[in-house]
A and B are shown apart, each in its own frame.
Chain A
């Protein structure tokens, strides 16, 4: 008996049914998979991508790259501004979005494309202030509110939340605190393009005025263009896990020879603010609905 077991007899009809069922299951899986891949790889908004930027070189620790630098301009009254070029609309892949970018001439016929997309990492890309055409945000660098006077006692002389002024930093040639050496640089912690926003979405910045920057500006055209009067500014977000590192803030930094450098105490990343180099980052797109 050919049909002793309990399985149905193999027949043309049965083969046909098997083919139909198997084929539809397979196509269903393929469609779902393709839709899933499309969905998960679709750009969620405009801007971003791989680009070159200038920043403080990472010296030690798990951080993947350096801390991005903010080019500084000083206005007629002596207030510090972070360069924020006029926003323009570009179209890429059928998506229209705003960018703030400009060419900075670094001599010898070469130029650097500065874009505020440099700062689209670590969730900063979702901050109101990072939008090129953000309402009510200007370029001025402002002091933190409240001021970190425990770390930088000189900040007792300034008003919290005020714009940073060149004259506030007049002691930069010999300023020092209990961390590291005196005369390396006078720091201030502050915010940028973060007025009237909640504390957790303020863009933290670090401004240092130093004679070393003035010396570097003599042979480095990029420094000369972006760091007037010895001022240099960074977006103060560790590129590793987005903590806020500190310059001359914690004495434990000397364990890593970082007492005169930018030190992140979460995972001991060290950035050298006096070693600026071109690096690469994958800038993240700003979320949709921002434009």
Chain B
């Protein structure tokens, strides 16, 4: 008997044996589950809907009387809260202003070029794109001339990057919220981030302790490598993730 008890105390998730949680009318049958093709988004929706309904039931059973009040009164509640928040930020401003030295220095002298002259770090990627001159093609039809100047080429490269970022939401309208759900698009994202990093290194190529030609080649190779690795890893993780998700789901609501 004791053997039997211990078996029953653990819910069977493989569909065999009697489940501990009694299935009700809401629980889908195996057939219904098979017919479901929308996948994770549908599943999430069901979870949320169920939670909402439970909340609603709880509210209806409760003896708490809701008053017809839309918010807190401006005085004193809101005023005191707002004063506290603004005092905090004003205090932070004063504190920072007092602790940090003034940063205004002499005007730049165009007759002297500093040893390290670079834009702010968060613009390195864009600065790196301006240095794409080596891949500006020389067309034989123009007698070996470039169709556009290296400067224009670099600016257009920026436009291409912005365009690519803008177009991604139109290409992938999926509802995935985790990289593992769509390994391909996750790989594209990782490749993009890697490209931003490598073009940043191209921007500071003259200071980096690597040969500029190697830096330049790596700028295009590394994103591809990173994207490939990401794709492979996520594809592998997918199996385990799906298994985990299914296990949780069936533990909660075992099939009939």
A: residues with CB less than 8 A from B are 62, 123, 199-202, 204, 242-246, 250, 252, 255-256, 264-268
Query: Are A62 and B111 in contact (CB-based, < 8 A)?
Result: no
Residue of A nearest to B150 (CB): A62
Residues A244 and B113 in contact in the complex (CB < 8 Å), given A265-B206, A268-B206:
yes
CB-based contact B109/A243 at 8 Å: no
Q: Which residue of B lies closest to A148 (CB)?
A: B112
Q: Are B133 and A62 in contact (CB under 8 A)?
A: yes
Report Cα–Cα, A90/B239, bound state, in Å. 84
Alpha-carbon distance between A247 and B77 when the two chains are bound, in angstroms:
69
Q: Given contacts A256-B212, A265-B115, A266-B117, are A242 and B207 in contact (CB under 8 A)?
A: no
**Which chain B residues border A204 with CB–CB below 8 Å?**
111
Among B107, B110, B205, which residue has its beta carbon within 8 angstroms of that of A255?
A: B205
Residues from chain B with Cβ under 8 Å of A252 in the complex: 206-207
Contact (Cβ within 8 A) B109 A255: no
Shortest Cβ distance from A246 into B: residue: B113
Cross-chain contact A265 with B150 (CB below 8 angstroms) = no
Residues of A within 8 A of B112 (CB): 199, 244
B113 touches A255 (CB 8 A): no
How far is B206's CA from A265's CA once the two chains are assembled, in angstroms?
Answer: 8
- Tell me the nearest residue of chain B to A61, going by C-beta: B133
Q: How far is the CB of A39 from chain B (nearest CB, A)?
A: 27
In the complex with contacts A255-B212, A265-B206, A268-B206, A123-B110 CB distance below 8 A: yes
Residues of A within 8 A of B107 (CB): 200
- Bound-state CA distance A252–B210 (Å) is 11
CB of B55 closer than 8 Å to a CB of A:
no
9 tightest Cβ-Cβ pairs between the two chains A and B = A243-B113, A244-B113, A252-B206, A200-B109, A266-B117, A202-B111, A204-B111, A255-B212, A199-B109
A244-B110, A264-B113, A267-B131 are known; give 15 further A-B pairs, CB within 8 A.
A123-B110, A200-B107, A200-B109, A202-B111, A242-B110, A243-B117, A244-B111, A244-B112, A246-B113, A255-B205, A256-B206, A265-B113, A265-B116, A268-B131, A268-B205
What distance in Å separates the Cβ of B72 from its nearest Cβ neighbour in chain A? 52
Determine the chain B residues whose CB is within 8 A of the CB of A244 once the complex forms.
110-113
Q: Contact flags (1/0) for B92-120 with A, using CB distance below 8 Å? A: 00000000000000010111110111000
Establish whether residues A266 and B113, one from each chain, have CB atoms under 8 Å apart when the complex forms: yes
Please, how many angstroms separate the alpha-carbon atoms of A245 and B112 in the complex? 9
Please state if A62 and B206 are interface contacts (CB–CB under 8 Å). no
Chain A residues with Cβ under 8 A from B217's Cβ? none
Answer whether residue B211 sits at the interface, using C-beta atoms and an 8 A cutoff. yes
- How near does chain B come to A177, taking the closest CB pair, in angstroms? 15
Least CB distance, A241 to chain B, in whole angstroms = 10
Residue B151 interfacial (CB < 8 Å): yes
Q: B120 to nearest A CB, angstroms?
A: 15
Could you jot down 26 A-B contacts, CB within 8 Å?
A: A62-B133, A62-B150, A62-B151, A123-B110, A199-B109, A200-B107, A200-B109, A200-B110, A202-B111, A204-B111, A243-B117, A244-B111, A244-B112, A246-B113, A250-B115, A252-B206, A255-B211, A256-B206, A256-B212, A265-B113, A265-B115, A265-B117, A266-B117, A267-B131, A268-B131, A268-B205
